[in-house]
Amino acid sequence: MQLKKLLYLVPFLFLISCYNAERNCSDFKTGKFKFEYEVNGVKKTTVFERKDSIEIETFEGKTDTATIRWVNDCEYVLQKKHPKNMAEEKAIQMKILTTSNNSYTFEFNIIGSDDKQTGTVTKL
């Protein structure tokens, strides 16, 4: 009886291991987006517009521009055009993990750092 259960379990595990999350990354190369997150219990919102190789971001009334270098359809490097300090000079690696009709989940880190964070962006 145990062998019979195992024979049913193996194909099921194989199917699960082959599952790939949906990633229609090209749908998010251009457009207007919103990223909401929490800092010390306070909700923050960043709105940005992406035009393939340029991203214009507005946060707390301040606008900034960054260049985008696409590594592939789902990964890009973001670099501030006019950094105001040493921290802003560092490029950020972005990777889209999953997509839906109007949003995507991503992970990001400063290049050279292993500390990755995740977030969700909504297309407006």
State pLDDT tens for residues 32-55.
999 998 889 999 999 999 997 999
Q: Please give the average per-residue pLDDT across 1-8, as a whole number.
A: 50
pLDDT of 60 > 50? The answer is yes
- CA gap 101, 97 in Å, rounded: 14
Q: What is the mean pLDDT of the segment spanning 89-106?
A: 95
Q: What is the band of 63 on the pLDDT scale with cuts at 50, 70, 90?
A: very high
Per-residue pLDDT at 23: 79
Cα-based angle 87, 53, 121 (whole degrees, multiple of 5): 70
pLDDT for 56 equals 96
**Contacting residues for 33 by C-beta, under 8 A, at least 6 apart:** 47, 48, 49, 50, 121, 122, 123, 124
Q: How confident is the model at residue 13 (pLDDT cuts 50, 70, 90)?
A: very low
pLDDT of residue 6: 44
% of the chain with per-residue pLDDT over 90: 68
Whole-number pLDDT of residue 88 = 86
User: Going by CATH, does the domain composed of 22-123 fall within 2.40.128?
Assistant: yes
